[in-house]
């Protein structure tokens, strides 16, 4: 997902890479190996991943962050930006990480509709902010603080401060009502606090991990969401979200609902207003999709033509063999003709 650049990677990239290694280790301990044996991703396994990352999304998502309206699109850029309507001065990007460009480029490349709430809650750790803002600002998303009594701080004050900032910048209260614990969420909470603050700030680390979560959620939405109207789905290992467009090829059947992204957790969690604000796919992408579709049809036509040519060559070869058999006598017939000719000449005894 990260753009190829000759410059040094931003600090968030380090958190991204560490989170990727953490996920491999976590799922290897849960399923015995990762990727799974023989590279077999079943529907059940994808549903496990979908539940895990949907929980992470609910835990971290900033529901105040949305895509900018279409009429606010700047003339210098064809892309929407991530904004907070309640805070006009808020910015999703900074000098070290152009996060909007990363996730927008990924969605455009993979033809995914952007997630309605595309940004996480991020901690803002500042050495003097707590005494100036007070404890009442805890409820503010992405709050900042510094312990007022240094004598009560732990032996590693920076780690304690970062851990508390990370915990406060979550939707943990919204998940307390869930009676089913999630193993990935529990491991993720420990993983976040294991990153030294002097290597990557909690602010940058949260963004780096979110980019990974965003990409996984978008990929899962294309394969792990069942088609609507299914009656029996328990213990089904094969895909039940088929592509039914142009099936059957004759007639004009009703267009099936194949918008799996819009039935995924990130879209169900968002309200209709947020969904309506999501940027649509640019016309260039739709044209590229149609071109790829025509290319696939043309490729299938070439394969069918090649198969027909092969069959015709095989049939013509069989007919040629039959003609040769009719025009040239068999070895047995040749032997009989030689015997008759020799007998006529008196050469046989």
Q: What is the residue extent of each domain of the chain? A: 11-122+169-241+257-281, 293-344
Report d(CA 275, CA 235) in Å as an integer: 32
- The set of residues, in sequence order, having a beta carbon less than 8 Å from that of 266 and lying 6+ positions away, is 54, 57, 61, 115, 116, 117, 217, 221
Report d(CA 3, CA 8) in Å as an integer: 12
**More confidently predicted of 65 and 343:** 65
From the centroid of its chain, how far is CA 208?
16
From the centroid of its chain, how far is CA 223?
9
In this structure, what are the phi and psi dihedrals at residue 269, rounded to the nearest 5 degrees?
-70, -30
What was the pLDDT predicted at 224? 74
Report d(CA 202, CA 171) in Å as an integer: 16
pLDDT at position 274 over 90? no
Task: Please give the average per-residue pLDDT across 89-117, as a whole number.
Answer: 90
Whether the full predicted model's pTM is greater than 0.95, yes or no, is no
**Rama region for 66: left / alpha / beta (φ>0; ψ in -120 to 50; rest):** beta
Instruction: Report which DSSP code applies to 82.
Output: E
Instruction: Report which DSSP code applies to 67.
Output: E
The mean predicted confidence, pLDDT, of the chain is 73
Q: Which residues of 157-178 are buried (b: 16+ CB within 10 A; e: fewer)?
A: eebbbbbbbbebbbbeeeeeee
Task: Please give the average per-residue pLDDT across 31-37, as a whole number.
Answer: 87
Task: Please give the average per-residue pLDDT across 268-277, as a whole number.
Answer: 69
Q: Which residues pair with 61 in a beta bridge?
A: 120
Q: Locate 153 and state its tokens.
A: 């701080």
**Rama region for 42: left / alpha / beta (φ>0; ψ in -120 to 50; rest):** beta
Residues in the chain: 349
Question: pLDDT tens, 44-98?
Answer: 888 899 999 999 999 999 999 998 886 666 555 667 889 999 998 999 998 889 9
- Cα–Cα nearest to 183, from 52, 43, 16, 47: 52
């Amino acid at each position: 997902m990260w753009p190829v650049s000759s410059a040094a990677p931003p600090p968030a990239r380090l958190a991204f890479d560490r989170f990727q290694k953490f996920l491999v280790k976590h799922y290897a301990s849960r399923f015995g190996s990762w990727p799974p044996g023989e590279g077999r991703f079943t529907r059940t396994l994808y549903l496990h991943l979908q539940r895990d990352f949907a929980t992470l999304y609910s835990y971290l998502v900033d529901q105040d962050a949305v895509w900018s309206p279409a009429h606010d699109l700047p003339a210098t850029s064809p892309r929407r930006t991530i904004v907070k309507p309640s805070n006009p001065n808020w910015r999703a990007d900074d000098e070290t990480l152009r996060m909007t460009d990363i996730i927008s480029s990924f969605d455009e490349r993979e033809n995914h509709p952007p997630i309605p709430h595309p940004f996480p809650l991020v901690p803002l750790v500042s050495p003097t902010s707590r005494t100036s803002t007070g404890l009442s600002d805890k409820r503010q998303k992405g709050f900042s603080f510094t312990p007022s009594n240094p004598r009560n701080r732990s032996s590693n004050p920076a780690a304690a401060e970062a851990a508390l900032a990370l915990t406060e910048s979550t939707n943990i209260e919204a998940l307390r009502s869930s009676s089913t614990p999630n193993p990935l969420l529990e491991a993720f909470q420990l993983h976040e606090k294991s990153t030294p603050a002097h290597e990557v700030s909690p602010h940058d680390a949260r963004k780096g991990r979110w980019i990974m979560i965003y990409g996984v959620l978008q990929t899962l939405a294309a394969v792990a969401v069942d088609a609507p109207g299914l009656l029996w789905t328990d213990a089904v290992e094969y895909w039940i979200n088929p592509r039914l467009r142009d099936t059957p090829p004759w007639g004009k059947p009703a267009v099936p609902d194949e918008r799996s992204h819009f039935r995924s957790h990130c879209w169900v969690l968002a309200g209709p207003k947020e969904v309506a604000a999501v940027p649509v796919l640019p016309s260039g992408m739709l044209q590229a999709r149609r071109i790829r579709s025509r290319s696939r049809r043309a490729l299938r036509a070439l394969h069918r033509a090649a198969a027909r040519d092969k069959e015709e060559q095989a049939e013509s070869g069989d007919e040629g063999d039959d003609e040769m058999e009719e025009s040239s006598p068999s070895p047995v017939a040749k032997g009989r003709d030689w015997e008759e000719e020799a007998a006529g000449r008196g050469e046989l005894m």
